[in-house]
Amino acid sequence: MAGFRSLARQVRDPRCDLALRRYSLRKCLERFAPYGHRATWDHLCARHDIEPEDRAPDPARLIAALDELEEARVVWLAYEVNFAERRKREKHDGLRRPGSFDDWHRLTWGGNGVARCDNPAVHPSESLAEVLRRLISGLESGPGTTCPVCAERGIVWRPDLSHEPWSGPVCTGCGIVVPQPVLTTEALAEAKGTAREPLASVA
């Protein structure tokens, strides 16, 4: 099975036909897709003016979309290194099992669904790398009352998410499933008490 870097080389290879280059970009999302596969593809298509069903898109647009994906992957891999170093220190200090703070991380190995968007058509409009930087900053700065990505206070609890954890707080501004560790107990309680509201597309 080809890895992310091998697939990225195919996307950039002008000797490959456009259908294969597009397919390789889609396969990259099986290795790294911050919003989930469908939402990340929708995001890249919207930002780089690619028709989602176009089998032979402009190669320059494909490469621009790949560049954005790779930049975000660098941000995430750096976080993974820091996470591994922190866990090593914690184990040295006798904390063998990750705390509840890291429950969300268990569901995002490889960077899939780091900032999952349950509705594939509703996702942040900023670059993937910027969204991940904001999310990581929120995780590192401690619990707050707003979405770490868009700073909106409108967060509602969804009991019927399409992926694990199956229920959780969703930002009505940018559409991400907000990692619970970034929210205070009060903010989570308020989200659970808020009636479900339809999410509008921000892409």
Among the listed residues 170, 163, 175, 72, the one whose alpha carbon sits nearest the alpha carbon of residue 124: 175
Per-residue pLDDT band for 195 (boundaries 50, 70, 90) equals very low
Question: What percentage of residues in the chain have a pLDDT greater than 90?
Answer: 72
Q: Are 174 and 166 in contact (CB under 8 A)?
A: no
Q: Which residue, chain included where needed, has tokens 């700073």? A: 151
Strand partners of residue 183: 144
Mean of all residue pLDDT scores within the chain: 89
User: Which two tokens mark 166?
Assistant: 């199956």
Task: Please indicate whether residue 200 or residue 42 has the higher confidence score (pLDDT).
Answer: 42
Query: Beta strand pairing status for 168-171 and 155-158?
Result: antiparallel
Q: Give the C-alpha separation, 158 to 138, whole Å.
A: 21
Q: Encode pLDDT of 35-77 as tens digits.
A: 999 999 999 999 999 999 998 999 999 999 999 999 999 999 9
Instruction: Tell me the whole-structure pTM to 2 decimals.
Output: 0.87
Residue 148, CA atoms < 13 Å, CB-side half-sphere: 26
Q: Encode pLDDT of 83-101 as tens digits.
A: 778 767 777 677 666 555 5
pLDDT computed for residue 21 by the predictor: 97
Distance between the two ends of the chain, CA-based, in angstroms?
32
Q: What is the mean pLDDT of residues 100-126?
A: 82
Q: Give the C-alpha separation, 29 to 4, whole Å.
A: 8
